[in-house]
Structure 1
Protein backbone atom coordinates (compact mmCIF):
# COMPACT_ATOMS: atom_id res chain seq x y z
CA UNK A 1 0.00 0.00 0.00
CA UNK A 2 1.49 3.36 -1.04
CA UNK A 3 1.70 6.36 1.27
CA UNK A 4 -0.59 9.23 0.37
CA UNK A 5 1.24 11.80 -1.71
CA UNK A 6 2.44 14.77 0.30
CA UNK A 7 0.94 18.01 -0.98
CA UNK A 8 4.31 19.76 -1.08
CA UNK A 9 7.02 17.88 -3.04
CA UNK A 10 9.85 16.65 -0.83
CA UNK A 11 13.61 16.63 -1.29
CA UNK A 12 15.71 13.66 -0.15
CA UNK A 13 18.95 15.53 0.46
CA UNK A 14 21.08 12.38 0.82
CA UNK A 15 20.51 9.03 -0.89
CA UNK A 16 23.02 6.56 -2.35
CA UNK A 17 21.04 5.38 -5.36
CA UNK A 18 24.22 4.01 -6.93
CA UNK A 19 24.59 1.47 -4.11
CA UNK A 20 24.45 -2.17 -5.17
CA UNK A 21 21.45 -2.64 -2.89
CA UNK A 22 19.39 -0.87 -5.59
CA UNK A 23 20.92 -2.64 -8.59
CA UNK A 24 17.93 -4.91 -9.14
CA UNK A 25 15.06 -2.43 -8.87
CA UNK A 26 16.38 1.13 -9.15
CA UNK A 27 13.59 2.31 -11.44
CA UNK A 28 10.94 1.00 -9.05
CA UNK A 29 12.68 2.66 -6.09
CA UNK A 30 12.67 6.03 -7.83
CA UNK A 31 9.05 5.58 -8.89
CA UNK A 32 8.00 4.71 -5.32
CA UNK A 33 9.75 7.85 -4.11
CA UNK A 34 7.88 9.98 -6.63
CA UNK A 35 4.55 8.36 -5.80
CA UNK A 36 5.22 9.20 -2.15
CA UNK A 37 5.94 12.83 -2.98
CA UNK A 38 9.74 12.70 -2.94
CA UNK A 39 10.47 14.12 -6.37
CA UNK A 40 13.99 15.56 -5.87
CA UNK A 41 16.98 13.49 -4.75
CA UNK A 42 20.63 14.33 -4.13
CA UNK A 43 23.08 11.45 -4.72
CA UNK A 44 26.51 11.91 -3.07
CA UNK A 45 29.51 9.89 -4.21
CA UNK A 46 31.84 7.92 -1.95
CA UNK A 47 34.88 7.35 -4.19
CA UNK A 48 36.32 8.31 -7.58
CA UNK A 49 35.10 5.10 -9.18
CA UNK A 50 31.49 6.04 -8.44
CA UNK A 51 31.59 9.46 -10.13
CA UNK A 52 30.87 8.33 -13.73
CA UNK A 53 28.11 5.97 -12.59
CA UNK A 54 26.40 8.72 -10.59
CA UNK A 55 26.72 11.14 -13.50
CA UNK A 56 24.97 8.65 -15.80
CA UNK A 57 22.32 7.78 -13.22
CA UNK A 58 21.41 11.43 -12.68
CA UNK A 59 21.37 12.16 -16.42
CA UNK A 60 18.77 9.40 -16.88
CA UNK A 61 16.36 10.60 -14.19
CA UNK A 62 14.74 14.01 -13.86
CA UNK A 63 15.04 15.51 -10.40
CA UNK A 64 18.05 13.36 -9.42
CA UNK A 65 21.18 15.45 -8.79
CA UNK A 66 24.83 14.45 -8.31
CA UNK A 67 27.39 15.39 -5.67
CA UNK A 68 31.00 14.28 -6.06
CA UNK A 69 33.55 13.66 -3.35
CA UNK A 70 35.76 11.22 -1.45
CA UNK A 71 34.14 9.66 1.64
CA UNK A 72 36.43 9.09 4.66
CA UNK A 73 35.19 5.53 5.20
CA UNK A 74 36.55 4.62 1.76
CA UNK A 75 39.98 6.09 2.52
CA UNK A 76 41.78 2.86 1.64
CA UNK A 77 40.34 3.06 -1.89
CA UNK A 78 41.44 6.66 -2.47
CA UNK A 79 44.73 7.37 -4.25
CA UNK A 80 46.61 10.66 -3.67
CA UNK A 81 45.81 11.75 -7.22
CA UNK A 82 42.05 11.38 -6.69
CA UNK A 83 41.77 14.75 -4.96
CA UNK A 84 43.39 16.42 -7.97
CA UNK A 85 41.11 14.40 -10.24
CA UNK A 86 38.14 15.72 -8.26
CA UNK A 87 39.13 19.28 -9.12
CA UNK A 88 39.07 18.47 -12.83
CA UNK A 89 35.85 16.51 -12.48
CA UNK A 90 34.13 19.47 -10.80
CA UNK A 91 35.22 21.71 -13.66
CA UNK A 92 33.83 19.36 -16.30
CA UNK A 93 30.73 18.04 -14.50
CA UNK A 94 28.91 20.66 -12.47
CA UNK A 95 27.33 18.94 -9.43
CA UNK A 96 25.06 20.43 -6.77
CA UNK A 97 27.63 19.83 -4.01
CA UNK A 98 31.00 18.39 -3.03
CA UNK A 99 30.29 15.27 -1.05
CA UNK A 100 30.22 13.00 0.68
CA UNK A 101 33.31 14.22 2.52
CA UNK A 102 34.36 14.53 6.15
CA UNK A 103 35.99 12.65 9.01
CA UNK A 104 35.25 9.26 10.57
CA UNK A 105 37.08 8.49 13.82
CA UNK A 106 34.80 5.56 14.66
CA UNK A 107 37.15 3.14 12.90
CA UNK A 108 40.72 2.77 14.11
CA UNK A 109 42.14 1.42 10.83
CA UNK A 110 41.70 4.70 8.93
CA UNK A 111 44.65 7.10 9.09
CA UNK A 112 43.38 10.28 10.74
CA UNK A 113 46.03 12.56 9.33
CA UNK A 114 45.28 11.36 5.82
CA UNK A 115 41.56 11.87 6.47
CA UNK A 116 42.25 15.43 7.64
CA UNK A 117 44.31 16.22 4.57
CA UNK A 118 41.68 14.81 2.21
CA UNK A 119 38.85 16.64 4.01
CA UNK A 120 40.64 19.99 4.06
CA UNK A 121 41.59 19.82 0.40
CA UNK A 122 38.02 18.99 -0.61
CA UNK A 123 36.73 21.91 1.47
CA UNK A 124 39.14 24.12 -0.46
CA UNK A 125 37.81 22.75 -3.75
CA UNK A 126 34.24 23.45 -2.66
CA UNK A 127 35.20 27.05 -1.93
CA UNK A 128 37.02 27.42 -5.23
CA UNK A 129 33.99 26.11 -7.15
CA UNK A 130 31.39 27.92 -5.00
CA UNK A 131 29.68 24.66 -4.07
CA UNK A 132 28.12 23.53 -0.79
CA UNK A 133 29.51 20.51 1.05
CA UNK A 134 27.80 17.34 2.27
CA UNK A 135 29.68 16.33 5.42
CA UNK A 136 30.07 13.01 7.22
CA UNK A 137 31.12 13.40 10.88
CA UNK A 138 31.02 10.10 12.77
CA UNK A 139 32.92 10.23 16.04
CA UNK A 140 34.53 13.47 14.87
CA UNK A 141 31.88 16.18 15.09
CA UNK A 142 33.95 18.54 17.25
CA UNK A 143 36.89 18.43 14.86
CA UNK A 144 34.66 18.71 11.81
CA UNK A 145 33.03 21.82 13.26
CA UNK A 146 36.40 23.37 14.09
CA UNK A 147 37.63 22.61 10.57
CA UNK A 148 34.54 24.20 9.01
CA UNK A 149 34.98 27.26 11.23
CA UNK A 150 38.64 27.47 10.23
CA UNK A 151 37.70 27.49 6.57
CA UNK A 152 35.01 30.06 7.24
CA UNK A 153 33.62 30.53 3.73
CA UNK A 154 31.48 27.48 3.15
CA UNK A 155 27.84 26.45 3.25
CA UNK A 156 26.53 22.92 3.50
CA UNK A 157 24.97 20.18 5.60
CA UNK A 158 26.25 17.81 8.25
CA UNK A 159 24.26 14.75 7.30
CA UNK A 160 22.87 12.20 9.74
CA UNK A 161 23.43 14.60 12.62
CA UNK A 162 23.72 12.87 16.00
CA UNK A 163 25.43 15.41 18.23
CA UNK A 164 24.40 17.53 21.20
CA UNK A 165 22.29 20.68 21.36
CA UNK A 166 25.47 22.73 21.77
CA UNK A 167 27.09 21.09 18.75
CA UNK A 168 23.98 21.72 16.70
CA UNK A 169 24.02 25.38 17.69
CA UNK A 170 27.67 25.70 16.69
CA UNK A 171 26.80 24.42 13.21
CA UNK A 172 23.83 26.80 12.85
CA UNK A 173 26.13 29.67 13.86
CA UNK A 174 28.28 28.69 10.86
CA UNK A 175 25.19 28.65 8.65
CA UNK A 176 25.26 24.85 8.29
CA UNK A 177 22.21 22.64 7.97
CA UNK A 178 21.47 19.39 9.80
CA UNK A 179 20.45 16.36 7.74
CA UNK A 180 17.79 14.38 9.62
CA UNK A 181 16.59 10.93 8.59
CA UNK A 182 15.40 7.59 9.93
CA UNK A 183 17.09 7.73 13.37
CA UNK A 184 14.70 10.49 14.53
CA UNK A 185 11.76 8.08 14.19
CA UNK A 186 13.05 5.90 17.06
CA UNK A 187 11.55 6.82 20.42
CA UNK A 188 14.87 6.16 22.14
CA UNK A 189 16.52 9.00 20.18
CA UNK A 190 15.41 11.51 22.80
CA UNK A 191 18.27 14.00 22.42
CA UNK A 192 17.93 14.12 18.64
CA UNK A 193 14.16 14.51 18.97
CA UNK A 194 14.59 17.46 21.34
CA UNK A 195 16.96 19.16 18.91
CA UNK A 196 14.66 18.61 15.93
CA UNK A 197 11.61 19.80 17.89
CA UNK A 198 13.23 23.10 18.81
CA UNK A 199 15.78 23.89 16.09
CA UNK A 200 15.44 26.81 13.67
CA UNK A 201 13.50 25.39 10.74
CA UNK A 202 15.74 27.15 8.21
CA UNK A 203 18.59 24.75 9.03
CA UNK A 204 16.63 21.49 8.69
CA UNK A 205 16.99 19.09 5.76
CA UNK A 206 15.24 15.74 5.29
CA UNK A 207 17.25 12.74 4.13
CA UNK A 208 17.03 8.98 3.85
CA UNK A 209 20.71 7.95 3.59
CA UNK A 210 19.22 4.93 1.81
CA UNK A 211 19.92 2.07 1.62
CA UNK A 212 21.20 2.64 5.19
CA UNK A 213 19.53 3.99 8.34
CA UNK A 214 15.93 2.77 7.97
CA UNK A 215 13.36 4.28 10.28
CA UNK A 216 11.54 2.54 13.12
CA UNK A 217 8.83 1.17 10.83
CA UNK A 218 11.46 -0.54 8.65
CA UNK A 219 13.98 -1.77 11.19
CA UNK A 220 16.29 -4.35 9.59
CA UNK A 221 15.06 -3.62 6.06
CA UNK A 222 16.65 -1.82 3.13
CA UNK A 223 15.89 1.88 3.40
CA UNK A 224 14.36 3.80 0.45
CA UNK A 225 13.91 7.48 -0.40
CA UNK A 226 10.11 7.01 -0.25
CA UNK A 227 10.52 6.61 3.51
CA UNK A 228 11.45 10.30 3.83
CA UNK A 229 7.68 10.83 4.15
CA UNK A 230 7.80 8.98 7.47
CA UNK A 231 10.65 11.21 8.66
CA UNK A 232 8.53 14.22 7.70
CA UNK A 233 5.55 12.94 9.69
CA UNK A 234 7.68 12.29 12.75
CA UNK A 235 9.25 15.76 12.64
CA UNK A 236 5.87 17.44 12.13
CA UNK A 237 4.54 15.63 15.19
CA UNK A 238 7.61 16.57 17.26
CA UNK A 239 7.24 20.23 16.27
CA UNK A 240 3.43 20.20 16.57
CA UNK A 241 3.28 21.68 13.07
CA UNK A 242 1.38 20.80 9.89
CA UNK A 243 3.23 18.33 7.67
CA UNK A 244 2.76 20.64 4.69
CA UNK A 245 4.58 23.46 6.51
CA UNK A 246 7.56 21.24 7.37
CA UNK A 247 7.60 19.87 3.81
CA UNK A 248 7.56 23.37 2.30
CA UNK A 249 10.30 24.68 4.60
CA UNK A 250 12.69 21.73 4.28
CA UNK A 251 12.26 21.53 0.50
CA UNK A 252 12.90 25.27 0.20
CA UNK A 253 16.01 24.87 2.38
CA UNK A 254 17.39 22.11 0.14
CA UNK A 255 16.62 23.97 -3.07
CA UNK A 256 18.31 27.09 -1.75
CA UNK A 257 21.38 25.26 -0.43
CA UNK A 258 21.95 23.17 -3.55
CA UNK A 259 20.67 25.85 -5.96
CA UNK A 260 18.14 23.49 -7.47
CA UNK A 261 15.69 24.68 -10.10
Structure 2
Protein backbone atom coordinates (compact mmCIF):
# COMPACT_ATOMS: atom_id res chain seq x y z
CA UNK A 1 0.00 0.00 0.00
CA UNK A 2 1.27 3.45 -0.96
CA UNK A 3 0.12 7.02 -0.43
CA UNK A 4 0.75 9.83 -2.89
CA UNK A 5 1.22 12.48 -0.23
CA UNK A 6 1.22 15.43 -2.64
CA UNK A 7 -0.55 15.58 -5.99
CA UNK A 8 -2.61 18.00 -8.06
CA UNK A 9 -5.36 15.83 -9.51
CA UNK A 10 -7.20 18.92 -10.72
CA UNK A 11 -4.25 19.87 -12.95
CA UNK A 12 -3.93 16.59 -14.83
CA UNK A 13 -4.51 16.56 -18.59
CA UNK A 14 -7.21 13.93 -18.66
CA UNK A 15 -7.09 13.55 -22.43
CA UNK A 16 -4.57 10.76 -21.81
CA UNK A 17 -7.16 9.00 -19.62
CA UNK A 18 -10.24 9.17 -21.86
CA UNK A 19 -11.13 12.43 -20.10
CA UNK A 20 -12.04 10.55 -16.95
CA UNK A 21 -10.34 10.93 -13.58
CA UNK A 22 -11.61 7.46 -12.69
CA UNK A 23 -8.98 6.04 -15.05
CA UNK A 24 -6.22 7.90 -13.21
CA UNK A 25 -7.42 6.42 -9.96
CA UNK A 26 -7.65 2.91 -11.42
CA UNK A 27 -4.07 3.14 -12.72
CA UNK A 28 -2.96 4.23 -9.27
CA UNK A 29 -4.86 1.37 -7.63
CA UNK A 30 -3.15 -1.10 -9.96
CA UNK A 31 0.20 0.31 -8.77
CA UNK A 32 -0.78 -0.15 -5.13
CA UNK A 33 -1.59 3.51 -4.41
CA UNK A 34 -4.55 3.62 -2.07
CA UNK A 35 -4.70 7.19 -0.75
CA UNK A 36 -4.04 10.67 -2.14
CA UNK A 37 -3.52 14.16 -0.77
CA UNK A 38 -4.68 16.63 -3.42
CA UNK A 39 -3.00 19.93 -2.65
CA UNK A 40 -4.24 23.48 -3.14
CA UNK A 41 -2.18 26.23 -4.77
CA UNK A 42 -4.84 28.97 -4.60
CA UNK A 43 -7.96 29.47 -2.52
CA UNK A 44 -9.91 29.33 -5.77
CA UNK A 45 -9.03 25.61 -5.91
CA UNK A 46 -11.29 24.91 -2.97
CA UNK A 47 -14.52 24.18 -4.84
CA UNK A 48 -12.83 21.83 -7.32
CA UNK A 49 -10.80 20.00 -4.69
CA UNK A 50 -13.87 19.62 -2.48
CA UNK A 51 -15.76 18.05 -5.38
CA UNK A 52 -12.93 15.61 -6.06
CA UNK A 53 -12.73 14.64 -2.40
CA UNK A 54 -16.48 14.04 -2.33
CA UNK A 55 -16.21 11.77 -5.36
CA UNK A 56 -13.39 9.66 -3.92
CA UNK A 57 -13.32 8.51 -0.31
CA UNK A 58 -9.55 7.98 -0.48
CA UNK A 59 -8.73 11.57 -1.46
CA UNK A 60 -7.89 14.12 1.22
CA UNK A 61 -7.28 17.78 0.39
CA UNK A 62 -5.52 20.90 1.63
CA UNK A 63 -6.15 24.61 1.44
CA UNK A 64 -3.57 27.33 0.94
CA UNK A 65 -1.88 29.80 -1.37
CA UNK A 66 1.36 28.77 -3.09
CA UNK A 67 4.19 31.29 -2.64
CA UNK A 68 4.40 32.02 -6.38
CA UNK A 69 0.67 32.38 -6.97
CA UNK A 70 -0.99 35.81 -7.13
CA UNK A 71 2.23 37.77 -6.43
CA UNK A 72 1.94 40.46 -3.76
CA UNK A 73 -1.76 39.82 -3.26
CA UNK A 74 -2.62 39.75 0.45
CA UNK A 75 -3.82 36.43 1.80
CA UNK A 76 -7.51 36.34 2.70
CA UNK A 77 -6.89 34.89 6.14
CA UNK A 78 -10.55 34.59 7.12
CA UNK A 79 -11.36 32.76 3.91
CA UNK A 80 -8.45 30.37 4.38
CA UNK A 81 -9.45 29.65 7.96
CA UNK A 82 -13.05 29.06 6.89
CA UNK A 83 -12.05 26.61 4.15
CA UNK A 84 -9.75 24.78 6.56
CA UNK A 85 -12.79 23.67 8.56
CA UNK A 86 -13.84 21.39 5.66
CA UNK A 87 -13.89 17.79 6.95
CA UNK A 88 -11.65 16.45 4.15
CA UNK A 89 -8.99 19.15 4.60
CA UNK A 90 -6.08 17.65 6.51
CA UNK A 91 -3.38 20.29 5.93
CA UNK A 92 -2.62 23.97 5.37
CA UNK A 93 -0.70 24.78 2.18
CA UNK A 94 1.10 24.52 0.09
CA UNK A 95 2.85 27.54 1.46
CA UNK A 96 6.45 28.62 1.99
CA UNK A 97 9.07 30.61 0.13
CA UNK A 98 10.21 30.44 -3.50
CA UNK A 99 12.94 32.89 -4.43
CA UNK A 100 13.61 31.14 -7.74
CA UNK A 101 10.43 32.20 -9.50
CA UNK A 102 9.75 35.46 -7.65
CA UNK A 103 11.91 38.58 -7.72
CA UNK A 104 12.37 41.86 -5.88
CA UNK A 105 11.22 42.58 -2.35
CA UNK A 106 9.61 39.34 -1.20
CA UNK A 107 8.35 40.57 2.16
CA UNK A 108 4.82 39.82 0.92
CA UNK A 109 5.77 36.18 0.39
CA UNK A 110 7.26 35.94 3.87
CA UNK A 111 4.16 37.53 5.42
CA UNK A 112 1.85 35.05 3.69
CA UNK A 113 4.03 32.19 4.92
CA UNK A 114 3.75 33.46 8.50
CA UNK A 115 -0.03 33.74 8.16
CA UNK A 116 -0.31 30.13 7.02
CA UNK A 117 1.77 29.00 9.98
CA UNK A 118 -0.44 30.91 12.40
CA UNK A 119 -3.62 29.32 11.02
CA UNK A 120 -2.05 25.86 11.06
CA UNK A 121 -1.15 26.26 14.74
CA UNK A 122 -4.57 27.62 15.61
CA UNK A 123 -6.45 24.82 13.83
CA UNK A 124 -3.92 22.13 14.75
CA UNK A 125 -3.45 21.06 11.14
CA UNK A 126 0.00 20.32 9.67
CA UNK A 127 1.72 22.51 7.11
CA UNK A 128 2.77 21.62 3.57
CA UNK A 129 5.90 23.68 2.93
CA UNK A 130 7.38 24.50 -0.46
CA UNK A 131 10.87 25.99 -0.45
CA UNK A 132 13.18 26.83 -3.32
CA UNK A 133 16.39 28.85 -3.13
CA UNK A 134 15.24 30.17 0.24
CA UNK A 135 16.83 27.78 2.73
CA UNK A 136 17.93 30.25 5.38
CA UNK A 137 14.75 32.34 5.39
CA UNK A 138 12.48 29.28 5.35
CA UNK A 139 14.12 27.77 8.43
CA UNK A 140 14.37 31.13 10.19
CA UNK A 141 10.64 31.81 9.76
CA UNK A 142 9.75 28.27 10.81
CA UNK A 143 11.76 28.74 14.00
CA UNK A 144 10.55 32.27 14.73
CA UNK A 145 6.89 31.44 14.15
CA UNK A 146 7.07 28.13 16.06
CA UNK A 147 5.98 26.04 13.09
CA UNK A 148 7.01 22.96 15.06
CA UNK A 149 3.80 23.34 17.05
CA UNK A 150 1.84 22.54 13.90
CA UNK A 151 4.35 20.11 12.38
CA UNK A 152 4.08 19.27 8.69
CA UNK A 153 6.12 18.25 5.69
CA UNK A 154 8.84 19.73 3.54
CA UNK A 155 7.26 18.72 0.27
CA UNK A 156 9.20 17.80 -2.89
CA UNK A 157 12.41 18.27 -0.93
CA UNK A 158 15.40 19.22 -3.09
CA UNK A 159 17.86 20.67 -0.60
CA UNK A 160 20.83 19.20 1.29
CA UNK A 161 21.14 17.19 4.50
CA UNK A 162 21.93 20.30 6.55
CA UNK A 163 18.53 21.78 5.78
CA UNK A 164 16.77 18.44 6.12
CA UNK A 165 18.24 18.02 9.60
CA UNK A 166 17.03 21.48 10.65
CA UNK A 167 13.54 20.68 9.39
CA UNK A 168 13.54 17.34 11.18
CA UNK A 169 14.58 19.09 14.38
CA UNK A 170 11.50 21.30 13.96
CA UNK A 171 9.21 18.25 13.97
CA UNK A 172 8.78 18.15 10.18
CA UNK A 173 8.75 15.24 7.78
CA UNK A 174 10.70 15.11 4.50
CA UNK A 175 8.88 14.13 1.30
CA UNK A 176 10.63 12.86 -1.82
CA UNK A 177 9.31 13.24 -5.35
CA UNK A 178 10.48 11.87 -8.69
CA UNK A 179 13.45 14.25 -8.55
CA UNK A 180 15.24 11.78 -6.27
CA UNK A 181 15.40 9.32 -9.19
CA UNK A 182 17.20 11.77 -11.50
CA UNK A 183 20.80 10.80 -12.30
CA UNK A 184 22.16 14.21 -11.26
CA UNK A 185 20.34 14.31 -7.89
CA UNK A 186 23.33 13.08 -5.86
CA UNK A 187 22.89 15.51 -2.95
CA UNK A 188 19.20 14.68 -2.66
CA UNK A 189 19.89 10.95 -2.85
CA UNK A 190 22.28 11.36 0.08
CA UNK A 191 19.42 12.96 2.04
CA UNK A 192 17.11 10.07 1.14
CA UNK A 193 19.65 7.66 2.64
CA UNK A 194 19.85 9.59 5.91
CA UNK A 195 16.29 10.67 6.71
CA UNK A 196 14.87 8.46 9.49
CA UNK A 197 12.39 6.01 8.06
CA UNK A 198 9.68 7.19 10.46
CA UNK A 199 9.93 10.76 9.10
CA UNK A 200 9.79 10.08 5.36
CA UNK A 201 6.99 10.54 2.82
CA UNK A 202 6.78 9.93 -0.93
CA UNK A 203 4.85 11.93 -3.50
CA UNK A 204 4.47 12.66 -7.19
CA UNK A 205 3.64 16.40 -7.25
CA UNK A 206 1.80 15.37 -10.41
CA UNK A 207 1.37 16.45 -13.13
CA UNK A 208 4.97 17.65 -12.67
CA UNK A 209 8.33 15.92 -12.17
CA UNK A 210 7.67 12.41 -13.44
CA UNK A 211 10.30 9.98 -12.12
CA UNK A 212 12.59 7.82 -14.19
CA UNK A 213 11.58 5.85 -16.29
CA UNK A 214 8.82 8.32 -17.20
CA UNK A 215 10.84 11.56 -16.99
CA UNK A 216 9.58 14.13 -19.49
CA UNK A 217 6.06 12.73 -19.51
CA UNK A 218 3.07 13.92 -17.53
CA UNK A 219 3.31 12.59 -14.00
CA UNK A 220 0.45 10.68 -12.34
CA UNK A 221 -0.17 9.16 -8.90
CA UNK A 222 0.66 5.62 -10.08
CA UNK A 223 4.25 6.72 -10.57
CA UNK A 224 4.83 7.26 -6.85
CA UNK A 225 5.68 3.56 -6.84
CA UNK A 226 8.87 4.34 -8.79
CA UNK A 227 9.90 6.85 -6.11
CA UNK A 228 9.43 4.30 -3.34
CA UNK A 229 11.25 1.61 -5.31
CA UNK A 230 14.21 3.90 -5.96
CA UNK A 231 14.50 4.91 -2.31
CA UNK A 232 14.37 1.25 -1.29
CA UNK A 233 17.34 0.56 -3.57
CA UNK A 234 19.22 3.57 -2.20
CA UNK A 235 18.72 2.42 1.38
CA UNK A 236 19.35 -1.25 0.61
CA UNK A 237 15.98 -2.22 2.01
CA UNK A 238 12.77 -3.68 0.65
CA UNK A 239 10.10 -1.84 -1.27
CA UNK A 240 7.55 -3.15 1.22
CA UNK A 241 9.46 -1.53 4.09
CA UNK A 242 9.41 1.87 2.37
CA UNK A 243 5.77 1.53 1.34
CA UNK A 244 4.64 0.52 4.82
CA UNK A 245 6.64 3.20 6.62
CA UNK A 246 5.68 6.09 4.34
CA UNK A 247 2.02 5.08 4.47
CA UNK A 248 2.03 4.88 8.27
CA UNK A 249 3.88 8.21 8.43
CA UNK A 250 1.29 9.86 6.22
CA UNK A 251 -1.70 8.82 8.31
CA UNK A 252 0.10 9.70 11.53
CA UNK A 253 1.07 13.18 10.34
CA UNK A 254 -2.16 14.18 8.60
CA UNK A 255 -4.61 12.24 10.76
CA UNK A 256 -6.45 11.39 7.56
CA UNK A 257 -9.25 8.86 7.48
CA UNK A 258 -8.34 5.54 5.91
CA UNK A 259 -10.90 4.48 3.31
TM range (shorter): over 0.9
The answer to whether structure 1 residue 37 and structure 2 residue 32 are counterparts is yes
Which deviations, in whole Å up to 9, do the C-alpha atoms of 1:2-42 show, x marking residues without a partner?
A: xxxxxxx1111000001152473322111111111111000
Name which of 204, 207, 211 aligns with 1:211: 207
Change (3 A) 1:89 1:231: same
Change (3 A) 1:186 1:80: closer
Change (3 A) 1:243 1:117: same
Structure 1 alignment gaps of length 5 or more = 1-8
- Count of residue pairs the alignment pairs up: 252
Change (3 A) 1:249 1:110: farther
Which deviations, in whole Å up to 9, do the C-alpha atoms of 1:140-171 show, x marking residues without a partner?
A: 12211111111222200011111111111111
Change (3 A) 1:218 1:70: same
Structure 2 alignment gaps of length 5 or more = none
**103-112 vs 36-45, which deviates more?**
103-112
- Indicate if the aligned counterparts of 2:67 and 2:97 stay in contact, CA closer than 8 A: yes
Change (3 A) 1:124 1:28: same
- Which whole-Å CA distance do the structure 2 matches of 1:25 and 1:110 have between them? 41
**19-28 vs 137-146, which deviates more?**
19-28
The answer to whether structure 1 residue 99 and structure 2 residue 93 are counterparts is yes
Q: Alpha-carbon deviation of 1:198?
A: 2.2
**110-119 vs 209-218, which deviates more?**
110-119
- Indicate if the aligned counterparts of 1:75 and 1:110 stay in contact, CA closer than 8 A: no
- Indicate if the aligned counterparts of 2:65 and 2:75 stay in contact, CA closer than 8 A: no
Which deviations, in whole Å up to 9, do the C-alpha atoms of 1:78-137 show, x marking residues without a partner?
A: 843622211122235551100111111002447511111111011100000000000110
Which deviations, in whole Å up to 9, do the C-alpha atoms of 1:228-260 show, x marking residues without a partner?
A: 111111000000001111111110000100002
- Indicate if the aligned counterparts of 1:148 and 1:154 stay in contact, CA closer than 8 A: no
Q: Secondary structure at the match of 1:135?
A: strand
Give the structure 2 partner of residue 26 of structure 1. Answer: 21
- Which whole-Å CA distance do the structure 2 matches of 1:94 and 1:185 have between them? 31
Which deviations, in whole Å up to 9, do the C-alpha atoms of 1:187-221 show, x marking residues without a partner?
A: 22111111111221111100000000111211210
Q: What is the 5 A alignment of 1:90-169?
A: 90-93=84-87, 95-109=89-103, 111-152=105-146, 153-169=149-165
Change (3 A) 1:51 1:110: farther
- Indicate if the aligned counterparts of 2:12 and 2:207 stay in contact, CA closer than 8 A: no
Normalization by structure 2: what TM-score?
0.93
Normalization by structure 1: what TM-score?
0.92
- Indicate if the aligned counterparts of 2:62 and 2:91 stay in contact, CA closer than 8 A: yes
- Indicate if the aligned counterparts of 2:212 and 2:226 stay in contact, CA closer than 8 A: no
Name which of 82, 89, 96 aligns with 1:88: 82
| RMSD of equivalent CA atoms | 1.6
